Chains A and B, each alone.
Chain A
Amino acid sequence: MSGTFVGMPAFPKAAHDAVRNTTLRANLRHATHTIRDKRARAVAELDDWAQLREAGKQIKDHTLRHLEHYLVQLEESVTAAGGTVHWAADADEANRIVTRLVRDTGESEVVKVKSMATQEIGLNEHLEAEGIHAYETDLAELIVQLGDDRPSHILVPAIHRNRGEIRDIFEKEMGRWGRPAPDGLSDTPAELAEAARLHLREKFLRAKVGVSGANFMVAETGTLVVVESEGNGRMCLTLPETLISVVGIEKIVPTWRDLEVFLQTLPRSSTAERMNPYTSMWTGTSDGDGPQTFHLVLIDNGRTDTLADEVGRQALRCIRCSACLNVCPVYERAGGHAYGSVYPGPIGAILSPQLRGTTSDIDASLPYASSLCGACYEVCPVAIDIPEVLVHLRERVVQGGEVTRRGAKVTLKPAKGHAAERAAMRAARWAFTHPAALATGQRLASRTRRFHPRTLPGPGRAWTATRDLPAIPAEPFRDWWQRTDGGKDAGK
């Protein structure tokens, strides 16, 4: 299992197998369609949805514009509440900080909950290499971890698995990690949940260190917020003596009041619930209640670089609701793994190439992993115009240009492998700005239409592999228009 998935093949290749995996397709189709219909109903219940969406967008934009100010304020309030703030510029630094903090407690085990940020930086693998075991406690994360698998969805990381597969994983793997699965485990949700509960309970009661993420951080009070459905998060946040929260710097909101908006839009967008079952908030430490030591590790890892991009920065508004994944027809067929990151689906397609840059194969292919149908933008509760950012990143891939990497301006060269396409686009531009040449080309195509092949060579082969080409008409429209004087002499 790899946390950061670098070295992944480009998206089309990664999607190739997924598209042919009928179990995966069926699992995904069922799950996404159920949740997308429910979401639509939950959202339709609020007549001020459009205003809430706009408010969420504005709050996030305002915060991002004044990020420095709010981060400093957050550090002050966390410190005042008895916590310690650490700053990590990248994944390595974050991993080193967390490892040191765990080492300082003398423990070699941690329980973890709700943290995409730690997956983004590959913390589990790093800890493992340092001899520290990290146990995932979110049900879906547990399934992923036990199955030596990778998450494939933001909210339901094991969405690609069905109940039968989960039962098999529990039966086979639980014993190696702690309490084994009960004998004769069936694949009913209740029994599976009970097995997980028993397995995890043991870990919660033993663990001295918890590692979490957060959905929001409130600058004015230094409060962190996690919303979840299982209650495991709450155990993880309150039982251990030391709590280490690893959070991306963009997760900040200025005031407690701002949560009002997101606590309405997030659950409806993600699980189609009016309110999420568990909302846990923690502010520093307090005597005799909850963790006695609290560390907040704030990670940048490409975020300020993303912030420097005028069009792309809107991706940082994301509240990880996963609504865009659930409506995405490409995600539904390609599966989450094809995106090569903990952030799959439409948001992953715009976030990963910004956080990691567009230089690897997978990152350069992600902006093309969309038909630009716009369904993601339509459902996004913070109105991220994902298609706009995709096209913007395509431009970066094919044309290169100036970007910010690690705080410095660098000029990217166009990605390799686009030379033929670039030449074709230029030729097309030339023809399209020279109508006479275009007309000649059309006439030639019409005249030779009997000789046109039904299968195309080169990149066109991808088209004719599954679809037939339209027949070339005997006469392009512009010739008909001329011949018939605008249709007036159209005898036929």
Chain B
Amino acid sequence: MRVALFLTCVNDTLYPDTGRAVVKLLTRLGVEVDFPAAQTCCGQPHYNTGYRREAEPLARHYSDVFGPGLASSDYDAIITPSGSCAAMVRELYPRMGERARAEGRGDRLAATLAPVIPKTYELTEFLVDVLGVTDVGAHYPHKVTYHPTCHGLRSLGLGDRPTQLLRAVKGLELVELPGAQECCGFGGTFAVKNSDVSAAMGTDKVRNAESTGADILCAADNSCLMHIGGTMSRLKVGMRPVHIAEILASTEEDPLS
């Protein structure tokens, strides 16, 4: 199987370790990974802030990079280690196509986006649903609590896929996070536009995480982890935010540093 990695702009720029972990993990599972270098951003920051028309060229760009047309782009799937970017493609790209149609701009946008929408998978979804594995052969001897991010939880409906994967990791002790389903308060530009409320939500999330006694807080979205981790660091809470891909990539021979 040959897949394209859509790393997302946040991961590429700020969290390259996540990308390296995904490559390592998928390669170990026998999947051939390609990273189309022309990829950039799915357009979610634009779309969710009210700049739908500015997001359209980015959605078209995504389709150009990952869709059919280019000889090299005949991928079986497009994998992204971000629930929120996967939700953008799967839930909001169709909506963008519909809106363009409703505005009398015809079917072009919808037709351009159509091929990439069903092929885009969030990482844990791909592992469990497409590869059919829950034990990825990982080793990670830590006490971990899992925060299901809103888009993964509610837009994609990831359910217990991430926790199934975590439970199968050798040495890992999974502890339940109180109020797990509550938003951490990131919300893209919300974190800046309503920073008081965002910070209050982040603090509550961190306090809940702290109460579990875990040393690692894991999630499947680096943007939420950036907000939670930034809050932890400011509150001097001795916990580490870690992306699930890094835990799943970690093995006894080659542990996560």
Q: Distance (Å) between the CB of B162 and the closest chain A CB?
A: 17
- Other-chain residue from A396, A428, A459, A473 in contact with B192 (beta carbon distance below 8 A): A459
A465 B45 Cβ-Cβ under 8 A: no
Query: What 0/1 readout, one digit per residue, does chain B (210-239) give for beta carbons within 8 Å of chain A?
Result: 000000000000000011011101100000
A329 B183 Cβ-Cβ under 8 A: yes
B45 A428 Cβ-Cβ under 8 A: yes
Chain A: CB-nearest residue to B154: A374
Most chain B beta-carbon neighbours within 10 Å: one of A393, A432, A482: A432
Answer whether A478 and B95 are a contact pair too, CB < 8 Å, given A370-B187, A470-B230.
no
Q: How far is the CA of A368 from the CA of B48 in the complex (A)?
A: 10
Chain B: CB-nearest residue to A431: B40
A438 B40 Cβ-Cβ under 8 A: yes
Q: How far is the CA of A249 from the CA of B24 in the complex (A)?
A: 60
B196 A371 Cβ-Cβ under 8 A: no
Q: How far is the CA of A442 from the CA of B186 in the complex (A)?
A: 23
A467 B40 Cβ-Cβ under 8 A: no
Query: What 0/1 readout, one digit per residue, does chain B (72-106) give for beta carbons within 8 Å of chain A?
Result: 00000000000000000000000100000010000
Q: Distance (Å) between the CB of A416 and the closest chain B CB?
A: 14
A397 at the interface (CB under 8 A from B): yes
Contacts of A475 in B (CB 8 A): 16
Answer whether A15 and B194 are a contact pair too, CB < 8 Å, given A372-B187, A433-B58.
yes
Q: Which of B166-220 contact A (CB under 8 A)?
A: 181-183, 185-203
Q: Distance (Å) between the CB of A154 and the closest chain B CB?
A: 20
B54 at the interface (CB under 8 A from A): yes
B1 at the interface (CB under 8 A from A): no
Answer whether A435 and B155 are a contact pair too, CB < 8 Å, given A394-B50, A469-B230.
no
B196 A372 Cβ-Cβ under 8 A: no
Chain B: CB-nearest residue to A398: B50
Q: How far is the CA of A397 from the CA of B37 in the complex (A)?
A: 35
Query: What 0/1 readout, one digit per residue, does chain B (35-59) give for beta carbons within 8 Å of chain A?
Result: 1011111010111111111110110
Chain B: CB-nearest residue to A465: B195
Answer whether A487 and B27 are a contact pair too, CB < 8 Å, given A429-B57, A442-B12, A470-B226.
yes
Answer whether A368 and B230 are a contact pair too, CB < 8 Å, given A329-B183, A373-B187.
no
B150 at the interface (CB under 8 A from A): yes
Q: Distance (Å) between the CB of A458 and the closest chain B CB?
A: 10
- Other-chain residue from B150, B155, B231 in contact with A467 (beta carbon distance below 8 A): B231
Contacts of A442 in B (CB 8 A): 12-13
Answer whether A370 and B190 are a contact pair too, CB < 8 Å, given A433-B57, A467-B227.
yes
Q: Which of A376-433 contact B (CB under 8 A)?
A: 377-378, 388, 391, 393-399, 421-422, 425-426, 428-429, 431-433
Contacts of B142 in A (CB 8 A): none
A375 B195 Cβ-Cβ under 8 A: no
Q: Which of B5-38 contact A (CB under 8 A)?
A: 7, 9, 11-17, 19-20, 23-24, 27, 33-35, 37-38
B243 at the interface (CB under 8 A from A): no
B234 A329 Cβ-Cβ under 8 A: no
B147 at the interface (CB under 8 A from A): no
B139 at the interface (CB under 8 A from A): no
If over half of A's interface residues share one DSSP class (helix, strand or loop), that class is named, otherwise mixed; here it is helix
Contacts of B226 in A (CB 8 A): 470
Contacts of A487 in B (CB 8 A): 20, 23-24, 27, 33
Contacts of A476 in B (CB 8 A): 12-13, 16
Q: Distance (Å) between the CB of B210 and the closest chain A CB?
A: 16
Q: Distance (Å) between the CB of A242 and the closest chain B CB?
A: 45
Contacts of A333 in B (CB 8 A): 197, 200-201
Answer whether A426 and B54 are a contact pair too, CB < 8 Å, given A374-B154, A438-B40.
yes
Q: How far is the CA of A398 from the CA of B150 in the complex (A)?
A: 25
Contacts of B52 in A (CB 8 A): 391, 395, 399
A462 at the interface (CB under 8 A from B): yes
A371 B183 Cβ-Cβ under 8 A: yes
Q: How far is the CA of A367 from the CA of B194 in the complex (A)?
A: 11
Q: How far is the CA of A374 from the CA of B230 in the complex (A)?
A: 23
Contacts of A395 in B (CB 8 A): 50-52
Chain B: CB-nearest residue to A429: B54
Q: Distance (Å) between the CB of A405 and the closest chain B CB?
A: 19
Contacts of A1 in B (CB 8 A): none
A480 B194 Cβ-Cβ under 8 A: no
Contacts of A25 in B (CB 8 A): 200
A432 B41 Cβ-Cβ under 8 A: yes
- Other-chain residue from B34, B45, B198, B234 in contact with A486 (beta carbon distance below 8 A): B34
Q: Distance (Å) between the CB of A329 and the closest chain B CB?
A: 5
Chain A: CB-nearest residue to B227: A467
Answer whether A482 and B187 are a contact pair too, CB < 8 Å, given A19-B200, A373-B154.
no
- Other-chain residue from A19, A397, A438, A467 in contact with B230 (beta carbon distance below 8 A): A467
- Other-chain residue from B19, B27, B53, B197 in contact with A477 (beta carbon distance below 8 A): B19
A399 B51 Cβ-Cβ under 8 A: yes
Chain A: CB-nearest residue to B190: A371
A49 at the interface (CB under 8 A from B): no
Contacts of B190 in A (CB 8 A): 368, 370-372
Chain B: CB-nearest residue to A377: B154
A11 B194 Cβ-Cβ under 8 A: yes
B16 A473 Cβ-Cβ under 8 A: yes
Chain A: CB-nearest residue to B199: A466
A453 at the interface (CB under 8 A from B): no
Q: How far is the CA of A486 from the CA of B3 in the complex (A)?
A: 13
A183 at the interface (CB under 8 A from B): no
A278 at the interface (CB under 8 A from B): no
A481 at the interface (CB under 8 A from B): yes
A468 at the interface (CB under 8 A from B): yes
A470 B14 Cβ-Cβ under 8 A: yes
Chain B: CB-nearest residue to A374: B154
Q: How far is the CA of A477 from the CA of B11 in the complex (A)?
A: 8
**29 A-B pairs in the complex with CB atoms less than 8 angstroms apart:** A15-B194, A19-B196, A310-B102, A333-B201, A368-B193, A368-B194, A371-B185, A371-B186, A371-B188, A371-B201, A388-B95, A399-B50, A399-B51, A399-B53, A425-B45, A431-B40, A433-B40, A442-B13, A463-B192, A468-B230, A470-B230, A473-B14, A475-B16, A476-B16, A477-B11, A477-B20, A477-B35, A480-B20, A487-B24
Extra 13 A-B pairs, beta carbons < 8 Å, given A371-B194, A375-B182, A472-B14: A15-B196, A371-B188, A373-B150, A374-B154, A394-B49, A397-B50, A398-B50, A422-B51, A426-B54, A429-B58, A473-B15, A476-B13, A477-B16
- Which of B's residues lie within 8 Å of A, judged by CB? 7, 9, 11-17, 19-20, 23-24, 27, 33-35, 37-41, 43, 45-55, 57-58, 61, 95, 102, 150-151, 154-155, 181-183, 185-203, 226-227, 229-231, 233-234
By Cβ-Cβ distance, the 8 closest A-B pairs, closest first, are A371-B187, A394-B50, A467-B230, A462-B195, A373-B183, A477-B16, A466-B199, A477-B19
